Structure 1
Amino acid sequence: MKVPILYEDNHLLLVEKPRNIPVQEDSSRDLDLLTGLKQMIKVRDDKPGNVYLGLVHRLDRPVGGAMVFAKTSKAASRLSDMMRRQVIERQYWAVVHGVPKQKKDQLTDYLYKNTQKNQVAVVSSKHPGAKKAILNYQVLASREGFSLLAVQLETGRPHQIRVQLSAMGHPIYGDQKYGQKTSKVGQQIALWAQSLSLEHPIKKEPIHVEAKLPSEYPWNIWEQTE
């Protein structure tokens, strides 16, 4: 598993998650990112015993991009608290079908996750188990029937971006779960964790990293416009 390192010190490890790899072990038993990174650190640094690496947030298996891990329990505790307080800024880029009417908007929905099917749906606020989901998006460009969106989350619900954009009428290119009417089998979902900005939990210094966008279609539509 080759994983680009975006930033690393004694407390933190920020990497570019490869697409189609689970963040942690799941029923597929495929090699997951957390295990792969622990193995990499153990071999690279010749560490005896188990390697500590704290998981503080997740990305869906088909989605790639910037992620932060904690290399110490102190950093993990502080990062988890920062995630709860929503002070870690995570920006996603998505290629969606169509052109949203509003170039910039905030979406607020109530989501319910069917854990048996691993499927999330937009429901009424009165639905049992419904959780409020808020995201902000901005249309960066539109071309060839697609739009490139910058998305920032205010809540971190499972599949949130995918579900909310689909419910808005603009499913993400290649989303096999929430864009079945527009996506073809085998297409790679065009959702990417583009950047992470946070205050170092120990050093209190600002950190900003960006994960380079994939170069294939439909991402390369935007390269042609530059």
Structure 2
Amino acid sequence: MNILYEDDQIIVVEKPVGIESQSNRTFEPDMVSEVKKHINSLSPKKGEPYVGVIHRLDKPVGGILVFGKTKEAAGALSKQVSGHQMEKTYLAVICGKPVDNFGTYVDYLWKDGKNNISKIVDKGITDAKRAELSYRVLEELEGEEGPLCLVEIDLKTGRHHQIRVQFSGHGTPLLGDLKYNPAGPKVAGQRNVALCAWKLAFTHPGNKKKMEFTVKPQGTVFNKFGTVSEYQSMR
């Protein structure tokens, strides 16, 4: 487990691709369990360590997660999420090119829990939730089956499969997304959806300092874009 930061109130980690954010009642590993093991290995105590889930990433998506190590810290971080004060920035590779190089998508999503998918629906549909994100195209490559674009995404809301659903619904689905783009083009070595929660910024719940973390996106397709290397050199 790649730990980016830790103190007595919070822990910031990089979630690998293919790992659940929290337990889904199977025997597969998940980040909450791994963080608990880590905390217990440092200071064994009776009972299970507290790990407060602040936000989640889909199983095929890698990137940064922050957890609260106390209820107070978790509560303060959760308020930042609900108040849109936690900055969650993603990098994605999409199939095709948006009409505009930057913009905002506002849709209403309905979650089909039985089939574990979400759909863009009309605003008045029962249980439909507002979903908003902004994006900008950073770089374009010509792939064998059409253009591929590297986009940076600022997630304003945190809906189920939001980025994947919205980009698919707007005609530029994510590369490698078998759920929302099963017939899409393939890139050698790219086995998962080309999406990474690459940057996270928030205010520390204790000392109130602004904290910002970045990681390198996982997946061979990201290495084809020079912008990714430039971002890494700026860290």
Q: Same fold (TM over 0.5)?
A: yes
Contact 1:21/1:33 (<8 A) preserved: yes
User: What residue is the counterpart of 1:207 in the other structure?
Assistant: 211
Task: Determine the structure 2 residue equivalent to 1:171.
Answer: 173
Q: Distance in 2 between matches of 1:140 and 1:11?
A: 35
Mapping for residues 35-74 of structure 1, pairs under 5 Å? 35-74=33-72
Structure 1 gaps of 5+ residues are: none
User: Is the aligned partner of 1:181 residue 2:183?
Assistant: yes
How many pairs were matched up? Answer: 223
Q: Which runs of 5 or more residues in structure 2 are unaligned?
A: 231-235
TM-score (norm 2): 0.90
User: 8 Å contact 1:41–1:47 — kept in the other structure?
Assistant: no
SS of the residue 2:220 aligns to: coil
1:13 corresponds to which residue?
A: 11
Cα deviation, residue 163, structure 1: 0.3
Between the aligned partners of 1:127 and 1:111, the Cα distance in structure 2 is: 9
Matched, 1:155 2:153: no
Equivalences for 1:29-178 in 2 at 5 Å?
A: 29-144=27-142, 145-178=147-180
Task: Measure how far apart 1:183 and its partner are.
Answer: 5.0
Q: Is the CA contact (8 Å cut-off) linking 1:175 and 1:183 kept in structure 2?
A: no
- 2:221 corresponds in structure 1 to 218
Corresponding residue for residue 194 of structure 2: 190
Percent of paired sites with the same residue: 37
Any idea what the Cα deviations from partners look like across 1:175-207, whole Å, max 9, x if unmatched? 0111112155x8311100011111111110110
| Contact persistence 1:42–1:48 (CA under 8 A) | no
8 A contact 1:92–1:194 mirrored in 2: yes
Q: What does the per-residue CA deviation read over 1:24-76, in whole Å, with 9 as the maximum and x for residues that have no partner?
A: 11144301110011012211334443211111111001101011000111101
8 Å contact from structure 1 (residues 176, 183) kept in 2: no
Q: Which runs of 4+ in 1 moved over 4 A?
A: none
- The separation in 2 between residues aligned to 1:183 and 1:19, in whole angstroms, is 20
CA distance in 2, matches of 1:211, 1:64: 9
1:63, 1:53 → 2: CA distance?
A: 21
- Are the structure 2 counterparts of residues 26 and 149 from structure 1 closer, same or farther at C-alpha, using a change threshold of 3 Å? same
Of stretches 114-123 and 41-50 in structure 1, the one that deviates more from structure 2 is 41-50
1:218 counterpart SS class:
helix
* Distance in structure 2 (CA, Å) of the matches to 1:162 and 1:26: 21
